[in-house]
Amino acid sequence: MKTLIIVSHPEEDSSMVQQFLKAGADTLKNVDRYHLESTNKPWSVSDEQNKLKEYDRLIFQFPMYWYSAPHTLKKWIDVVFTHSFYKKELSGKELGIVVSMGVSESEFEVGKSESFTLSELFRPFEALANKCHMTFLPIFPISLFVYKTDLEQKRVLVEYQRYLTMPNQSTFQAKEQWFVERLEALEIKGEYGELLMMAIEEIKTNRQHLDDLNLALKEMKSD
């Protein structure tokens, strides 16, 4: 599966969260990244459309400005998603949203300061995905990133990497598998490497126990 991140941010270089996400995405295979405001000439519609064809998952990544995306992303959508293109070339792909916000996620709720949920506010993107016969992924919100602890930020990074690369609606087993593969790919040597190997073995052994238990449960039910 190939993923393309389409970033819209007027000041990407000075955005701590964007730089952090960039570092996280750069280590991943089959993930490419594209910053809209960095292109200094008008987009070629056919070039943009051809680029999108290569990918299975598209991610719109941006800071929330007035309950939506910055205008540059909207401009890009209006230009690139032509009738003849979206009707046949986007069907079956996935569309995700990574949105950074200066307000806590818990405020997006009736009776709170932002009144509406993110699901409600991003209906236009959901409607776009529907129209293009794309699968709309769960929204990935990152709120108040700069106030998070190191550990919290690292957790965001791992979740973000999963969001970019893992199949949608994965089972617990698939998530486990994803982690084992990621850990093995680290190829850390020495003392930490051995610790890591032990952790991986532990996860695999747990999985065997779980599988055995599930099998036993299944047999009991069929009796």
Residues of this chain that interact with its own copies (CB under 8 A) are: 65-72, 74-75, 77-78, 81, 114-116, 120-121, 123-124, 126-128, 130-131
Smallest distance, Å, CB 123 to its own copies?
A: 5
CA torsion sign for 55, 74, 136, 34 is positive
At 111, the amino acid letter reads: G
At 25, the amino acid letter reads: A
Question: Between 25 and 137, whose beta carbon lies closer to its own copies?
Answer: 137
Question: Between 69 and 97, whose beta carbon lies closer to its own copies?
Answer: 69
Smallest distance, Å, CB 131 to its own copies?
A: 8
Rounded Cα gap, residues 150 and 135, in angstroms: 33
Question: Between 45 and 197, whose beta carbon lies closer to its own copies?
Answer: 45
Rounded Cα gap, residues 29 and 220, in angstroms: 43
Return all residues near 68 (Cβ < 8 A) that are at least 6 apart.
74, 121, 124
Rounded Cα gap, residues 178 and 162, in angstroms: 8
Query: Do the beta carbons of residue 161 and residue 24 sit within 8 Å?
Result: yes
Question: Between 67 and 179, whose beta carbon lies closer to its own copies?
Answer: 67
Smallest distance, Å, CB 114 to its own copies?
A: 7
> Angle of helix 45-53 relative to helix 71-80, nearest 10 degrees?
90
Smallest distance, Å, CB 160 to its own copies?
A: 24
Task: Give the residue carrying structure tokens 């990133």.
Answer: 145
Smallest distance, Å, CB 69 to its own copies?
A: 8
Smallest distance, Å, CB 70 to its own copies?
A: 7
Question: Between 136 and 145, whose beta carbon lies closer to its own copies?
Answer: 136
Helix (H) or strand (E) holding 103: none
DSSP 41: S
Question: Between 121 and 166, whose beta carbon lies closer to its own copies?
Answer: 121
Helix (H) or strand (E) holding 100: strand 94-101
